[in-house]
Structure formats: C-alpha cells, structure tokens
Amino acid sequence: MRFEIRPYDEADESAVVALWSEVFAYTAPHNQPLNLVRQKRAYEQALFFVALDDRRLVGTVMGGYDGHRGWIYSLAVDPSARGQGIGAELMRRIERQLAELGCRKINLQVLAANSATVDFYRKLGYAVEERVSMGKLLVPPPPEPRDASRP
Ligand SMILES: CC(C)(COP(=O)(O)OP(=O)(O)OC[C@H]1O[C@@H](n2cnc3c(N)ncnc32)[C@H](O)[C@@H]1OP(=O)(O)O)[C@@H](O)C(=O)NCCC(=O)NCCS
C-alpha cells in the first residue's frame, strides 16, 4: 500500500479545505470547508482521518458517535487518486475507530443523485435501508445570493 491513513493534524487544514472545495463544491456559507474543519475539531477530535499519498493529502473521512449509533460523512478522495483503494481504506479506518468506541451500527447518507457512491458503499457492505431523511434548520436560513442582473 503506497498511501498512509492517519489521524487529522492541524497542519492538514489548508489541504483539507482545498480538497473539499474541489470535491464537494459547497455554496452555502455554513458549509464553508474551513468552518466545517474547525467546528469538527472544536467539538470532537478522534473521528477524523486523512489519506496521504507520498505526503500529499488525497483523502478524508469523518465520523460521529452518540454512544449507540455511528455516522460517517465527509468521505472524499482527490479525483486524481481515485480507483486505488483509498476510499475503501479510509472507510475501514473510521469503521475500526467507531468499533473500538463500542459502536455496533453505522449510518450514512448519500444524495439521491449520487448513485455512483451508493455502488461504492454497497461494495463495502452497506445496504440501502427504508428510511426518510429529514432535516431542520435551527438558525435563520442564509440570505439568497443577490441577483447582480437586477436593480
Ligand atoms: C466515493 C469515493 C470516496 C471513492 O473513492 P475511491 O478511492 O475511488 O474508491 P476505492 O478505489 O477505494 O474503491 C473501492 C471499491 O469501490 C468501487 N468504486 C469506487 N468508486 C465507484 C463508483 N463511482 N461506482 C462504482 N464503484 C465504485 C471500486 O471499483 C472498488 O471496487 P473493487 O474493490 O471491486 O475494486 C470517491 O469517488 C469520491 O471522493 N467521490 C466524491 C465524494 C463523495 O461522493 N463522497 C461520499 C459522500 S456521501
């Protein structure tokens, strides 16, 4: 295995922000990668791993655990490094960490449009379950971006 999986380190911050900016292309201000990294680190530190290929950061994964269920999110592999087993190895690492914490079941969400990633997760033993995903904002929604073409 040429690449290395290790816990996130503060020195990885700018490389993670660059990776997520490319892979996830979030637009909402509350999803800005720098905020996401810092909020995660401020709240919980053990469930955040990066993949390095010859010291270049090429992948990330985060997890969450409430003492019962585990969650996995922010799995990303640099497009130039895909298809080499890095995503699968990141998943195995975060699964091991969650299992060590006592977690017995992992959940994750995939955007309905992201069917390719569903196939990836199926290969790793995940199954689509009959659930409805719901969400609610606890803060006011961000303002709509201004349409520059209108007065
Ligand atoms: C999904 C993602 C993490 C996969 O990373 P990767 O390093 O290319 O995956 P791997 O090389 O470890 O692939 C593991 C297995 O899944 C398969 N796989 C990977 N991507 C796949 C795809 N898009 N469609 C079908 N199978 C796929 C591989 O062929 C491999 O199968 P094998 O073991 O039979 O050879 C990567 O494509 C990515 O970052 N996507 C964009 C971000 C994303 O969607 N994240 C998940 C958010 S829910």
| Any domain includes 129 | no
How many domains, in total, are found in the chain? 1
Give Cα separations from 66 to 48, 56, 94, 101 (angstroms): 15, 32, 15, 10
| Any domain includes 138 | no
| Any domain includes 113 | yes
Ligand 1 pocket, mutate which of 22, 23, 120 (most atoms under 8 A from CB): 120
| Any domain includes 132 | no
Per the prediction, the chain carries an average pLDDT of 93
Mean pLDDT of 125-137: 95
Which residue's alpha carbon is nearest to atom 8 within ligand 1? Answer: 82
pLDDT at 143 over 80: no
Distance 21 CA to ligand 1 centre (A): 18
Short-list 11, 12, 13, 19, CA closest to 74: 19
* Residue 17 CB less than 6 A away from ligand 1: no
What does the alpha-carbon distance between residue 61 and residue 30 come to, in Å, rounded to a whole number? 19
Mean pLDDT of 116-131: 96
Structure confidence by residue, pLDDT tens digits, 43-81: 999 999 999 999 999 999 999 999 999 999 999 999 999
Structure confidence by residue, pLDDT tens digits, 101-121: 999 999 999 998 898 999 999
Claim: this prediction has a pTM higher than 0.85: yes
What does the alpha-carbon distance between residue 112 and residue 120 come to, in Å, rounded to a whole number? 14
As a whole-number percent, the residues of the chain with pLDDT over 70 amount to 94
What residues make up the domain containing 43? Answer: 4-123
Give Cα separations from 36 to 28, 32, 90, 103, 149 (angstroms): 12, 6, 19, 23, 31
- CATH number of the domain enclosing 59: 3.40.630.30
Q: Where are the alpha helices (DSSP H) in 48-139?
A: 86-100, 115-123
Distance 41 CA to ligand 1 centre (A): 26
